[in-house]
Structure 1
Amino acid sequence: MLATALARFPRLELQLSVTSLDLLPRLSAELGRTVYCKRDDTTSLALGGNKVRKLEYLVAEALAEGADTLVTAGAIQSNHVRQTAAVAAQQGLACVALLENPIATQDEDYLHGGNRLLLDLFGVEVRPVAALDDPHHQLQAEAQRLRQQGRTPKVIPVGGSNALGALGYVRTGLELADQLDALALQPAAVIVASGSAGTQAGLDLAFNERCPAVPVIGITVSRTVDEQLPKVAALRQQLAALLGLADPAIAPRLHDGYQGPRYGEPNPGTLAAIRRLARLEGLVLDPVYTGKAMAGLLDLVARDELPPGPLVFLHTGGTPGTFAYRHWFTS
């Protein structure tokens, strides 16, 4: 049913191959339970990451509308902005990005390295803002400024997380379900970083059809569960409506406690999780999303708060941003 519904929506085929589902043998042995990693850090565009999945739909819509400029927003080290900029370059579009400094740092690596360096390489017009406290209206105002210049902008929401963008993670959920079927594997849970909510909402809807006994558990990266739950629930409901489906009756599953001190700033548990996976598996996590999500997985396993059985960790990427955080790893 979902595959048929998805076929109605045009998309750019930017992610041309299936990302692997890899066993993490040394981590599994250390934890005493099997852990697999879905490698969306290895998607095919601009050093990888999950946002390309959403941009396949969002940029297809922009091109159909005759846009000549993509307008989006995020932190200085935003993975979403980096991949939006890369798609724009690939498709011959301009890209304008509103960037904030959410951790108020003057660290040179953060301000100029990592994802920020790549924006310059992709030719982005960067417009610094004091804060993205109302990103919807800020992006609309920027789009209006561009229209007054005679340009044809298309707003790409923060994180690519509206119902159309979240279709990308419905597709990914079906892809992952096929991989699990091929391995005859029913995991106890899928663990994912939960930020702008589109990734979790799309996976949840796909698994509700294909793997209804497998919970998708979001580890919040910037909010408490009370703040994040309505975001995920609302987007999942919008996504279901877009596809002509009923929204699942079960509320999205979330855990917090790993997101502090704020979005974009790692805590000791985040840094420890990044080091542990690097040294056990040669796997690079990032300090904003996947490091916090893995810290949650490790802690929930240690406290025996997850159902018994194998776990799947969705690696949503962020590798370039890791290089902007050298100070946090050396201080």
Structure 2
Amino acid sequence: AAAARLGIECELLLEHRFPEWPDTYNRGGNLQLDALLGATVLDHPAGTDMNAALAARANELHAAGRRPYAIPLGGSSVVGALGYRAAAVEILRQVDAVGFTPAEIVHTTSSGGTQAGLIAGLAIERSTVPVLGVSAGGSDEYLAPIVRALAEGVIEQLGLDRTFGPTAVVIDDTHVGDAYGVPTDAMHEAVDVCATLEGVLLDPVYTGKGMAGLIHHARTGRWSSDDQVVFIHTGGTPALFAYPDSVR
């Protein structure tokens, strides 16, 4: 949408993970919006190293005399994570205005930028509020070093002298299911509960799995009944229409 508004050509490199799935998945949801907004979609087979594919395409465009700006998966670069550094400040201001301190901030994580920005932002503000990232598609072992490096990069980029402890990066990877983008029973429940009881729409790929993690931890005693937890809804509603079976 931003590229369309500014008259910039937009190419999207996407990993075609489930070509055998129906058209509601392979042409609906975000893909329908991509087409509507005039983006060029470059499909790559499942298992492609998408970072390498992105770098190769950027090099091709450079060689052709173009000036590409390559945005990594999920926008998870230091520049991208700066947005959630600002979000951390906004959250702290809002909860202070309401008059409570969150027991934890919970969100969905996958490429690491959201969590890195939050951790960096809270460290910069000297807040002790912990952050829990519920993975939608990656193990703790894989994601934690990425999050830590990005968070350190945000602090360095801002030229600040702040640190965060070795336990600041907390990732729950038990709600991924079979793979990124593959629904789980807990996700179905989370999407249904939030829609029917709260009027809040979650998506099957991302926020639904994050909320499934929050529900699980609430049930199993991570927080007391007096605790107040902040859940960050990162969007994704169009994906509901690519997964009609998520409405049950």
How do 1:119-158 residues align onto structure 2 when only pairs under 5 Å count? 119-131=34-46, 133-158=48-73
Give the secondary-structure state (helix, strand or coil) at the position aligned to 1:254: strand
Matching residue of 2:33: 118
How do 1:180-195 residues align onto structure 2 when only pairs under 5 Å count? 180-195=95-110
Q: What is the aligned counterpart of 2:180 among 225, 239, 263? A: 263
Offset from partner CA, 1:91-113 (integer Å, 9 cap, x none): 11000111112244421111111
Q: Output the CA distance in 1 between the equivalents of 2:43 and 2:171.
A: 32
The alpha carbon displacement at 1:132 in A equals 5.7
The alpha carbon displacement at 1:208 in A equals 2.2
Could you tell me which amino acid in structure 2 is paired with residue 325 of structure 1?
Answer: Y
Give the count of matched residue pairs: 245
Residue 315 (1) aligns with residue 233 (2)? yes
Offset from partner CA, 1:31-89 (integer Å, 9 cap, x none): xxxxxxxxxxxxxxxxxxxxxxxxxxxxxxxxxxxxxxxxxxxxxxxxxxxxxxx1111
CA contact (8 A) 1:236 1:247 kept: no
Give the secondary-structure state (helix, strand or coil) at the position aligned to 1:155: coil
Matching residue of 1:300: 217
Q: Output the CA distance in 2 between the equivalents of 1:195 and 1:148.
A: 32
Distance of aligned partners of 1:146 and 1:132 in 2 relative to their CA distance in 1, 3 Å threshold: farther
Q: Output the CA distance in 1 between the equivalents of 2:54 and 2:31.
A: 19
CA contact (8 A) 2:204 2:246 kept: no
What percent identity do the matched residue pairs reach?
38
The alpha carbon displacement at 1:211 in A equals 5.9
Q: Output the CA distance in 1 between the equivalents of 2:152 and 2:18.
A: 32
How do 1:76-225 residues align onto structure 2 when only pairs under 5 Å count? 86-131=1-46, 133-210=48-125, 212-225=127-140
Q: Output the CA distance in 1 between the equivalents of 2:241 and 2:209.
A: 16
Structure 1 residues without counterparts, runs of 5 or longer = 1-85
TM-score, normalised relative to structure 1:
0.70
Offset from partner CA, 1:191-220 (integer Å, 9 cap, x none): 010111111111111122436221111111
Q: Output the CA distance in 1 between the equivalents of 2:9 and 2:213.
A: 38
Residue 277 (1) aligns with residue 166 (2)? no
Residue 247 (1) aligns with residue 148 (2)? no
Give the secondary-structure state (helix, strand or coil) at the position aligned to 1:154: coil
The RMSD of aligned alpha carbons is 1.6
Q: Output the CA distance in 1 between the equivalents of 2:124 and 2:56.
A: 39
